[in-house]
């Protein structure tokens, strides 16, 4: 009898599969070159770099990624996707992770939390896009 560790169960677990389904991305396509992290304009604010997010997902560590601040700092600028030599669309992976985090913890933006003077100053698109990204 062999004692094979089931990659399917521990590493390619249900949550990882959901990230793949929601984002439409093949997580194993990433070969960790770091191009995405090097060019990410929001990396200075992130606790996990974009390439580290993918690495953790490859290892099945979805919870750790969902608990990181990184997913809320991704501005969907698409720089990572534009430059990834493997064609990985990280902005879609970030969106999938926001979705899963909000399914677990609820919305992360309330209009009552935005100061009134800012709400009045914001261009309409900031409010619409903000609520699209930070609420379910």
Partner 1 sequence: MKISYFPGCTLNTKGKGFDRSVREAMAALGVELVELPDWNCCGASFPLLVDNVLDLVGPARVLINTAARDNKLTTACTTCYNVLKRTNRVLREDENIRERLNYFVEADYQGQVEVSDILQLIRDEVGFEKVKEAVKKPLNGLRVASYYGCMVLRPPREVAYDDPENPHALDDLMAALGAEPVRWGAKAECCGNYLVARKPEVAMEMSYRVLSSASRAGAEVIVANCPLCQFNLDRWQRDLTLTHGGFEPIPVLYFTQLLAIALGLDPGGYELEKHYVDPRPLLESKGLI
Q: Which residues bind partner 1 (CB under 8 A)?
A: 21-24, 41-42, 44-45, 72-73, 75-79, 81-82, 89, 91-92, 94-96, 99, 108-109, 114, 118, 121-134
CA gap 70, 17 in Å, rounded: 20
| Contacted entry of partner 1, ligand SF4, none for residue 114, CB cut-off 5 to 8 Å set by kind | partner 1
> Token pair 């399917």 is at which residue?
8
Instruction: List phi, psi (to 5°) of 20.
Output: -65, -40
60 binds, among partner 1, ligand SF4, none (CB under 5 to 8 A by kind): none
Distance, CA of 30 to CA of 48 (rounded, Å) = 16
Q: Which of partner 1, ligand SF4, none does residue 32 bind to, with CB < 5 to 8 Å depending on kind?
A: ligand SF4
Tokens of 117: 């003077």
CA 15 from centroid of its chain's CA atoms = 13
Min CB(47)–partner 1 separation in Å: 12
Residue 26 in 3-state DSSP?
coil
**Which residues contact ligand SF4 by CB under 6 A?**
30-36, 40-42, 50-51, 54, 74-80, 84-86, 88, 90-91, 94
């Amino acid at each position: 009898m062999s004692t094979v560790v089931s990659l399917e169960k521990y590493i390619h677990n249900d949550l990882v599969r959901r990230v793949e389904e929601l984002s439409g991305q093949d997580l194993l396509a990433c070969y960790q070159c770091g191009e995405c992290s090097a060019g990410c304009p929001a990396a200075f604010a992130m606790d996990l770099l974009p390439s580290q997010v993918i690495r953790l997902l490859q290892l099945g560590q979805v919870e750790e990624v969902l608990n990181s601040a990184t997913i809320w700092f991704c501005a969907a600028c698409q720089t990572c996707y534009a430059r990834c030599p493997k064609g990985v669309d990280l902005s879609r992976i970030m969106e999938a992770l926001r979705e899963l985090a909000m399914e677990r913890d609820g919305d992360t933006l309330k209009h009552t939390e935005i100061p009134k003077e800012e709400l009045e100053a914001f261009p309409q698109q900031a409010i619409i896009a903000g609520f699209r990204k930070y609420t379910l």
